[in-house]
Structure 1
Amino acid sequence: MLIQFTIENHRSIKNSAVISFTASKDTSFRENLLHPDKKKTLLPAIAIYGANAAGKSNVLHAMKTMKNMIVGDAAKLLKGQKLPWEPFGGNANPTAFETVFMYHGVRYAYGFSFDENRIHTEYLYYWPNGREAMIFSRDHGVYEFRENVNEQTALSNRTPDNKLYLVSSNDWNLPQTENAYMWFFEKLTFLMEEEPARSETVEQILSSDTKKMRILKELMLADLGISDVSIKSISGHAPVITTTHRIIHEDGSVEYFQLRMDQESAGTQRFFARIGGWLQALDQGALLLVDEIEDSLHPLLTKRFIEMIQDQHVNVNGAQLLFTTHDAMLLDLKFFRRDQIWFAEKDDKTCATELYSLASFSPRKGEDVRKGYLRGRFGAVPFIGGDDGGEIQKRV
């Protein structure tokens, strides 16, 4: 599970910005909280609100960049190739990322700083038996190790300037860094700009009776009017996803009809494009990042997706959700805790993104935070109007 993520000097984020999943002392919805050990209490979901171009999507992009540098294409760069460095305002300072997370019951802290040419700093700490221990530290080419020193020194000498030591050490199966690497590989998942549901993907889900029943249950709870899903093979054409709908006539008779997926509404198609990743995250206890969660979805369907993560009877493996949204209907203290609602706001003078949670405003229990947000009480919302002929301003 993710405890916190820190970003510095990436896109619109200039100064250090932190997203924390650590639960506050808020007593509401304590039954939804996650307990990776006896000391930690974590949130299952966090929503990030903000005006267009405020930088909320850059939080997810930063984490996606971090994963890309560990297990993606940017982890496979040849010596001398450029790293995916996107600093604030084109400045020359390094970008820095850090994640603090739990994996197999142990807390880890991993971070690094870089520019387009090299990794400047990198470190990995963990807390076995509750006590901090360093696995490795890297500072401008100088490494420090506490365990397996000879082997790690040899591996560090094989690590080029533009490659993370976490990556190169796992290329050589070093046990000390394996768990941290596997957290990024297994537990960090994204639903951003996903493609339409494909028959091969849905067929994999439907091949499991258990998963098919889970999909049908969610379809019924979302009230999409679908009673069955299947893959239909048409001679001379690629297999297509078909949905079965049920109609009950006034005389009580029942009629069924089928639709191809491309004949369904945009919301239903988006549901199928996402449900596979959602179920996978729940099964694996992964952290799921979703940009604009409400895109092409009915508000009740969006809410149902989030409920799956917040319901401890459904989310039995400790999955988490971090998403951006404009959906003000979700701004409800009867649905979220105050520490689950975050805002991204761009400073008027510096154009840098700032992150803060609703908990910092200490709203009263039962307060209509949706109305307060839309009126600009918490910032992070554009204000349109005034006596100047409609000039767009930001109310802070």
Structure 2
Amino acid sequence: MLVCFRAENFRSIFEPIELNLRPAPRLRNHKSHVLNPIKDNKDLKVLKTSLIYGANASGKSNIVKAIDFLQQLVISSKASDEKIEYSPFKVTKSPKESSSFYIEFTIQDYHLALTLKLNSERVEYEKLVSFDKSKEKLIYERKITRDFHEFKSDVLKSKSEIDFITGLSKYSPSNSSFIGVISQNEKVQHDLPNSFGPYIRAAFVYLKFCLIVVFPQSRYGGLNDDVLDGTINAYGNNIKEFDTGIDSIHVEKIELSTFSTSLINRIKSDIAKHDQSVKFSHNSKEYTASNQNGEIEIHEVIFKHKDADGNQFEFTTTDESDGTVRLLDLIPVLTCSEDLKDSEKATFIVDEFDRSLHPNLSRLFFEKFLSLDTHAGQLIVTTHQAELLDLDLLRRDEIWFAQKEWDHTTSLYSLNEYGTRHDKDIRKAYLDGLFGAIPMTKG
């Protein structure tokens, strides 16, 4: 689960910003929103949700993009001569030479933090630490310039272990994260020392599989796997509560002969490239393709509606409304959270959560998510939905504001910094401009 994220010099973020999901120590309301992600560490607590508000162009989406950038840097492969897609803050006469990112998270019994500092040429600095309650352990620290390489670790003991991992670090591409490089090489993974490998694997698994970022125009890729393992059939129970007209959800296997050979070959290439199932469109329909024991299988999701007489009619994804499709992207948050084990708690980050959703449905969604027991994962969203600004629904430390400052930079701060009364109408106060993060219109 996500504990804290920081970014500096990325898009509209110039000075460091921090999204901290640790609960404020003095807040006592909505205790069920506070989770203990590691059973044996009762001192570590995180919040189930965070909502980020802000005017258009305030930079709230850039916070999500910063998280996505860090994730992709770690889990994606790069050619050794490929540039890093570096996006520093541009509106300044005194630009910074590099961007910095910090992500602190938990997975299983691991409490880890990864720091990256980079420019378009290389990852200049990378550090992974593990926290055991109050004690910090350096898993590795890697510093790189054009002519210099330094590697440190507190967990590697023997000279052979130190030489092996230091050599891997020295000869790994400088434009990639060290975690990503060694996690995507099966032979290297097999040879990692037991004192080192589990930390690397845990960090990579969280960043690749447990951190799920959904943008307004993108689709939640996890639906692909949900189609294959049957989880998607459980979505019907949740989707009915949102008045979509969908009675049930089914999956149909499609014959490969339906598609051209060139399309099948492209799909095979995409599956191999991403090492997972993929979604694609063909003739205005959406399909999921996967590799099942060396054979390509293609499935289509079918939504069944009933008329007043009980007759069933089949719809495809493209037949449904934008609002329904958006809900289908979000429903896995509820379904997965209900089924997750303690060791697999995911962090869903949704940009423009309220896109195409009626305010009442947005609130219902949060009510359902927050009512789930402590097995639930996390949900972090950006939104304009003022109807959710209600202290009967949320804690003060779960509400954040992204503000566009006079110098075009983005700042981020919590409602808890204002110390508002528990009975205050924070929706009205926000729309009246008390907390900033609203459009400054002329007239």
1:271 counterpart = 2:307: no
- Alignment partner, residue 394 of structure 1: none
Following superposition, the deviation at residue 216 of structure 1 comes to 2.5
Following superposition, the deviation at residue 195 of structure 1 comes to 5.0
- Alignment partner, residue 258 of structure 1: 313
1:351 to 1:195, Cα distance in 2 relative to 1, 3 A: closer
Quick one: which amino acid aligns to residue 164 of structure 1? S
Following superposition, the deviation at residue 203 of structure 1 comes to 8.2
1:88 to 1:226, Cα distance in 2 relative to 1, 3 A: same
The answer to whether the 8 A contact 2:305-2:315 is kept is no
Q: Note the 1:35-46 alignment, pairs <5 A.
A: 35-36=36-37, 37-46=41-50
Following superposition, the deviation at residue 93 of structure 1 comes to 1.7
Say which SS state the counterpart of residue 90 (structure 2) adopts. helix
The answer to whether the 8 A contact 2:238-2:331 is kept is no
Cα distance in 2 for residues equivalent to 1:197 and 1:189: 8
Following superposition, the deviation at residue 211 of structure 1 comes to 4.9
Given the two structures, how large is their TM-score scaled by the length of structure 1? 0.85
Cα distance in 1 for residues equivalent to 2:55 and 2:364: 24
Following superposition, the deviation at residue 162 of structure 1 comes to 1.5
- Of 52-61 and 29-38, deviating more is 29-38
1:335 counterpart = 2:407: no
Cα distance in 2 for residues equivalent to 1:195 and 1:123: 31
Cα distance in 2 for residues equivalent to 1:9 and 1:129: 31
- Alignment partner, residue 413 of structure 2: 356
Quick one: which amino acid aligns to residue 26 of structure 1? L
Given the two structures, how large is their TM-score scaled by the length of structure 2? 0.77
1:166 counterpart = 2:216: no
1:145 counterpart = 2:153: yes
Say which SS state the counterpart of residue 349 (structure 2) adopts. strand
Say which SS state the counterpart of residue 382 (structure 1) adopts. coil
1:196 to 1:183, Cα distance in 2 relative to 1, 3 A: closer
- Alignment partner, residue 251 of structure 1: none
The answer to whether the 8 A contact 1:196-1:269 is kept is no
The answer to whether the 8 A contact 1:17-1:354 is kept is yes
Q: Note the 1:26-105 alignment, pairs <5 A.
A: 26-36=27-37, 37-72=41-76, 76-89=77-90, 91-105=95-109
Following superposition, the deviation at residue 278 of structure 1 comes to 5.4
1:133 to 1:17, Cα distance in 2 relative to 1, 3 A: same
- Of 95-104 and 278-287, deviating more is 278-287
Structure 1, unaligned stretches of length 5 or more?
248-253, 391-396
- Alignment partner, residue 250 of structure 1: none
Following superposition, the deviation at residue 179 of structure 1 comes to 1.5
1:372 counterpart = 2:433: no
Cα distance in 1 for residues equivalent to 2:69 and 2:173: 19
Aligned pairs, number: 370
- Alignment partner, residue 306 of structure 2: 245
Aligned residue among 320, 324, 332 for 2:378: 320
Alignment root-mean-square deviation, CA? 2.7
1:187 counterpart = 2:245: no
Structure 2, unaligned stretches of length 5 or more?
259-282, 286-299
Following superposition, the deviation at residue 226 of structure 1 comes to 3.0
Say which SS state the counterpart of residue 121 (structure 1) adopts. strand
1:129 to 1:49, Cα distance in 2 relative to 1, 3 A: closer
> How much identity, in percent, do the aligned residues show?
28
1:8 counterpart = 2:8: yes
Q: Note the 1:198-347 alignment, pairs <5 A.
A: 201=224, 204=227, 208=230, 211-212=232-233, 214-231=234-251, 241-247=302-308, 254-258=309-313, 260-261=315-316, 262-276=318-332, 279-280=335-336, 283=340, 284-313=344-373, 316=375, 318-347=376-405
1:202 to 1:5, Cα distance in 2 relative to 1, 3 A: closer
1:177 counterpart = 2:235: no
Following superposition, the deviation at residue 142 of structure 1 comes to 1.4
Following superposition, the deviation at residue 256 of structure 1 comes to 3.5
Following superposition, the deviation at residue 129 of structure 1 comes to 6.2
Following superposition, the deviation at residue 227 of structure 1 comes to 2.5
The answer to whether the 8 A contact 2:403-2:412 is kept is yes
1:10 to 1:273, Cα distance in 2 relative to 1, 3 A: same
Quick one: which amino acid aligns to residue 5 of structure 1? F
- Alignment partner, residue 119 of structure 1: 123
Quick one: which amino acid aligns to residue 248 of structure 2? D
1:184 to 1:233, Cα distance in 2 relative to 1, 3 A: closer
1:383 counterpart = 2:440: yes
